[in-house]
Protein backbone atom coordinates (compact mmCIF):
# COMPACT_ATOMS: atom_id res chain seq x y z
CA UNK A 1 0.00 0.00 0.00
CA UNK A 2 1.06 3.58 -0.53
CA UNK A 3 0.91 6.50 1.86
CA UNK A 4 -1.70 9.24 1.96
CA UNK A 5 -0.27 12.74 2.32
CA UNK A 6 -2.20 15.72 3.75
CA UNK A 7 -1.51 19.40 3.29
CA UNK A 8 -2.56 22.33 5.45
CA UNK A 9 -1.85 25.01 2.84
CA UNK A 10 -0.86 28.46 4.04
CA UNK A 11 0.25 31.69 2.45
CA UNK A 12 3.73 31.54 4.03
CA UNK A 13 4.16 27.93 5.16
CA UNK A 14 2.42 24.62 4.68
CA UNK A 15 2.03 21.79 7.16
CA UNK A 16 2.39 18.25 5.87
CA UNK A 17 1.33 14.94 7.40
CA UNK A 18 1.48 11.36 6.08
CA UNK A 19 0.14 7.95 6.91
CA UNK A 20 2.19 4.83 7.40
CA UNK A 21 2.21 2.39 4.47
CA UNK A 22 -0.83 0.56 5.87
CA UNK A 23 -2.78 3.85 6.09
CA UNK A 24 -3.59 3.35 9.75
CA UNK A 25 -1.72 6.13 11.54
CA UNK A 26 -1.45 9.82 10.63
CA UNK A 27 1.80 11.50 11.63
CA UNK A 28 3.12 15.01 11.17
CA UNK A 29 5.92 15.06 8.63
CA UNK A 30 7.15 18.64 8.42
CA UNK A 31 6.33 22.23 7.60
CA UNK A 32 7.80 23.78 4.47
CA UNK A 33 7.80 27.31 3.08
CA UNK A 34 4.85 27.42 0.68
CA UNK A 35 7.01 28.65 -2.19
CA UNK A 36 9.04 25.41 -1.87
CA UNK A 37 6.02 23.10 -1.52
CA UNK A 38 5.86 21.68 -5.05
CA UNK A 39 9.59 20.91 -5.08
CA UNK A 40 9.24 19.20 -1.70
CA UNK A 41 6.29 17.10 -2.90
CA UNK A 42 8.07 16.04 -6.09
CA UNK A 43 11.10 14.89 -4.12
CA UNK A 44 8.95 13.15 -1.53
CA UNK A 45 6.98 11.09 -4.07
CA UNK A 46 10.25 10.03 -5.71
CA UNK A 47 11.29 8.30 -2.48
CA UNK A 48 7.89 7.26 -1.07
CA UNK A 49 4.83 5.73 -2.71
CA UNK A 50 1.92 8.16 -2.32
CA UNK A 51 -1.60 7.02 -3.22
CA UNK A 52 -3.33 10.37 -2.88
CA UNK A 53 -2.87 13.89 -1.58
CA UNK A 54 -5.40 15.55 0.68
CA UNK A 55 -5.60 19.34 0.58
CA UNK A 56 -7.40 21.21 3.33
CA UNK A 57 -10.47 23.13 2.22
CA UNK A 58 -10.98 26.25 4.32
CA UNK A 59 -14.65 26.93 4.91
CA UNK A 60 -16.50 29.47 7.00
CA UNK A 61 -19.14 28.58 9.56
CA UNK A 62 -21.90 29.14 6.97
CA UNK A 63 -20.16 26.54 4.76
CA UNK A 64 -19.01 29.14 2.23
CA UNK A 65 -15.47 28.90 0.96
CA UNK A 66 -12.97 31.03 2.86
CA UNK A 67 -11.03 33.86 1.21
CA UNK A 68 -7.83 31.81 1.45
CA UNK A 69 -9.29 29.42 -1.14
CA UNK A 70 -8.15 31.95 -3.76
CA UNK A 71 -4.55 31.07 -2.82
CA UNK A 72 -5.16 27.33 -2.96
CA UNK A 73 -6.75 27.12 -6.42
CA UNK A 74 -3.59 28.17 -8.33
CA UNK A 75 -1.60 25.69 -6.24
CA UNK A 76 -4.00 22.86 -7.15
CA UNK A 77 -3.50 23.56 -10.86
CA UNK A 78 0.26 23.39 -10.40
CA UNK A 79 -0.08 20.23 -8.32
CA UNK A 80 -1.99 18.45 -11.09
CA UNK A 81 0.63 19.53 -13.63
CA UNK A 82 3.54 18.47 -11.43
CA UNK A 83 2.09 15.17 -10.17
CA UNK A 84 -0.65 14.11 -12.61
CA UNK A 85 -0.46 10.46 -11.55
CA UNK A 86 -1.46 11.22 -7.94
CA UNK A 87 -5.08 12.20 -7.35
CA UNK A 88 -5.96 14.83 -4.79
CA UNK A 89 -9.01 15.28 -2.61
CA UNK A 90 -10.24 18.25 -0.66
CA UNK A 91 -10.98 17.86 3.04
CA UNK A 92 -12.89 20.33 5.23
CA UNK A 93 -10.35 21.94 7.53
CA UNK A 94 -12.64 24.02 9.73
CA UNK A 95 -11.36 24.23 13.31
CA UNK A 96 -8.11 22.37 12.61
CA UNK A 97 -5.92 25.25 13.78
CA UNK A 98 -7.91 25.56 17.01
CA UNK A 99 -7.80 21.80 17.49
CA UNK A 100 -4.05 21.82 16.85
CA UNK A 101 -3.51 24.51 19.43
CA UNK A 102 -5.65 22.62 21.96
CA UNK A 103 -3.67 19.46 21.22
CA UNK A 104 -0.48 21.35 22.02
CA UNK A 105 -1.94 22.51 25.34
CA UNK A 106 -3.23 19.03 26.18
CA UNK A 107 0.16 17.49 25.46
CA UNK A 108 1.81 19.85 27.94
CA UNK A 109 3.80 22.05 25.56
CA UNK A 110 5.02 25.23 27.14
CA UNK A 111 3.69 28.60 25.96
CA UNK A 112 6.85 29.36 23.95
CA UNK A 113 6.54 26.01 22.13
CA UNK A 114 2.86 26.66 21.39
CA UNK A 115 3.82 29.90 19.64
CA UNK A 116 5.64 27.86 16.97
CA UNK A 117 3.30 28.42 14.03
CA UNK A 118 5.09 25.82 11.92
CA UNK A 119 4.23 23.19 14.53
CA UNK A 120 0.58 24.33 14.53
CA UNK A 121 0.51 23.89 10.72
CA UNK A 122 2.02 20.41 10.92
CA UNK A 123 -0.44 19.34 13.62
CA UNK A 124 -3.30 20.82 11.58
CA UNK A 125 -2.27 18.70 8.58
CA UNK A 126 -2.20 15.67 10.87
CA UNK A 127 -5.73 16.43 12.08
CA UNK A 128 -6.94 16.79 8.47
CA UNK A 129 -5.42 13.40 7.66
CA UNK A 130 -6.71 11.71 10.81
CA UNK A 131 -10.25 12.96 10.17
CA UNK A 132 -10.06 11.63 6.61
CA UNK A 133 -8.92 8.21 7.86
CA UNK A 134 -11.66 8.16 10.48
CA UNK A 135 -14.40 9.13 8.02
CA UNK A 136 -13.16 6.58 5.50
CA UNK A 137 -13.22 3.87 8.16
CA UNK A 138 -16.76 4.86 9.16
CA UNK A 139 -17.95 4.54 5.57
CA UNK A 140 -16.60 0.96 5.45
CA UNK A 141 -18.58 -0.01 8.56
Give 59-102 pLDDT, tens digit per residue. Answer: 776 777 777 888 999 999 999 999 999 999 998 876 566 666 56
Helices (H), the chain: 37-47, 69-82, 96-106, 111-114, 117-140
Phi, psi of 27 (to 5 degrees): -135, 145
What is the C-alpha separation between 31 and 71, in angstroms, rounded? Answer: 17
Q: How confident is the model at residue 129 (pLDDT cuts 50, 70, 90)?
A: very high
Q: What is the CATH number of domain 3-140?
A: 3.30.420.140
Measured CA angle at 111 (ends 109, 115), to 5 deg = 100
Amino acid sequence: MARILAIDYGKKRTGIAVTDELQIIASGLTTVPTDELLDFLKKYVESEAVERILVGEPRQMNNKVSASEALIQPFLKKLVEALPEIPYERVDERFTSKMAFQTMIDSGLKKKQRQNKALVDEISATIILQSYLYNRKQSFN
